[in-house]
């Protein structure tokens, strides 16, 4: 709950700095993608080209992108009528190696890690 509140407050501060008034989005540009596809970003984004962007909708957009779990930082900016989204992806885990386990099988440990949000490639 605290994390969601902090995200909303920080998002509002970033947006207030750049977006004093609403504008019609002529294009959307996403910077910083490395492993996450642009399609994943646009699929989670509640804004589209041609729509009006105001502070409330931009806060909602930031919140929606954070909820994907792919990003550790998201900043929205504006270049004319172009919505610019700068992201920093969360680091991914290349591989998980478990050694010395005797009481619990490796398969069960891997399932537990995955349920906790830690898995290869995530």
The upper half-sphere exposure of residue 69, i.e. CA atoms within 13 Å in the direction of its Cβ, equals 5
- Return the minimum-mean-pLDDT range out of 7-11, 56-60, 105-109, 114-118: 7-11
Q: Give the residue extent of every domain in the chain.
A: 2-89, 93-122
Q: Please give the model's pTM, rounded to 2 decimal places.
A: 0.65
Cα-based distances in Å from 25 to 35, 59, 68, 93: 26, 15, 22, 36
Instruction: Give residue 3's pLDDT.
Output: 63
Instruction: Give residue 19's pLDDT.
Output: 45
Instruction: Give residue 122's pLDDT.
Output: 61
Q: Is the pLDDT of residue 33 over 60?
A: yes
Q: Is the pLDDT of residue 4 over 70?
A: no
CATH (residue range 2-89) = 3.10.20.310
């Amino acid at each position: 709950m605290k994390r969601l509140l902090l995200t909303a407050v920080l998002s509002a501060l970033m947006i207030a700095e750049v977006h004093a008034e609403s504008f019609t989005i002529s294009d959307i540009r996403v910077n910083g993608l490395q492993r996450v596809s642009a399609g994943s970003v646009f699929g989670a984004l509640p804004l589209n080209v041609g729509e009006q962007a105001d502070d409330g909708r931009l806060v909602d957009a930031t919140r929606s992108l954070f909820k994907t779990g792919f990003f550790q930082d998201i900043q929205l900016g504006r270049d004319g009528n172009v919505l610019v989204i700068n992201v920093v992806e969360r680091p991914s885990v290349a591989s998980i190696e478990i050694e010395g386990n005797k009481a619990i099988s490796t398969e069960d440990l891997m399932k537990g890690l995955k349920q906790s949000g830690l898995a290869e490639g995530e």
